[in-house]
Structure 1
Amino acid sequence: EIILCEVASRTAGGKIPKCIEYRTGTDMNRTWFRNQLGLLTEENSVKREMLYGSIQCAPKHGKLTSIPKELPFDWVKLYEVYAKEGDFYQGATSSVFAIASVIVEGESEQDVTKRLNQVDEYIKLNTIYI
């Protein structure tokens, strides 16, 4: 008997699909959807040398008065802000609640980890709540 859980029923969440697309050139959500429709296609994946990682930035408590509009790092591939200045936040109410998402690239796992930490620190220092 095979029992499938949520892990086997959908693609990854957050920015993981976008990281995979940057790395391989394959949109895994599109590929999954087409396969579900029986539209099997040959994907021409290209393994790029760079590695990618993402972070979801959790809110703090208070009224958000300022959040960076852009990040000053050329290795940031994607920066999306979800928060609105003037809104009130009560911290992260779930594991996926975020005020912003960031994808970075690096030549090694250590590069990616260091850059994710650097981005997280930058956003924390430059996001203001009252």
Structure 2
Amino acid sequence: MDDTRSPAGETSNDVLFQLEAMHSTDALNYRIIAQSESEVRDIQNAPAISMSSFITESDQTKLLRTVSIYSQRGETSDQVRLLYMNDAAFSVWKGMGKEPTVIGSQHRPPSTALLAFGIPFSE
């Protein structure tokens, strides 16, 4: 088996990912929101429940065509649930008075995350 590591110890995949990151023009469209165990216990922190009510009651139903939120199980009590919110969803969430714990951002949600509310992402 051939070793594809460069003299610096990087594999060809490492170099590819570095080059892709340097030259990527893709925006980081999704903010990653961590919700703690206590936040998850409050049903109002479930976007599918609270956000849909907020959007409907505030007569902003046109937002339903732009909001995209994915959810994934976290691994610690500080990050029991991870939400991946696009800009529209994040703006609505903040408009609802939520104070989300943003832990990062990325171009799109991971393939293991499930659509929790809104529309699927598109390229």
TM-score norm. by structure 2 comes to 0.34
Structure showing greater relative contact order (alpha-carbon pairs closer than 8 Å, 6 or more residues apart) = 2
TM-score norm. by structure 1 comes to 0.33
Which structure shows the bigger proportion of residues in helix conformation? 2
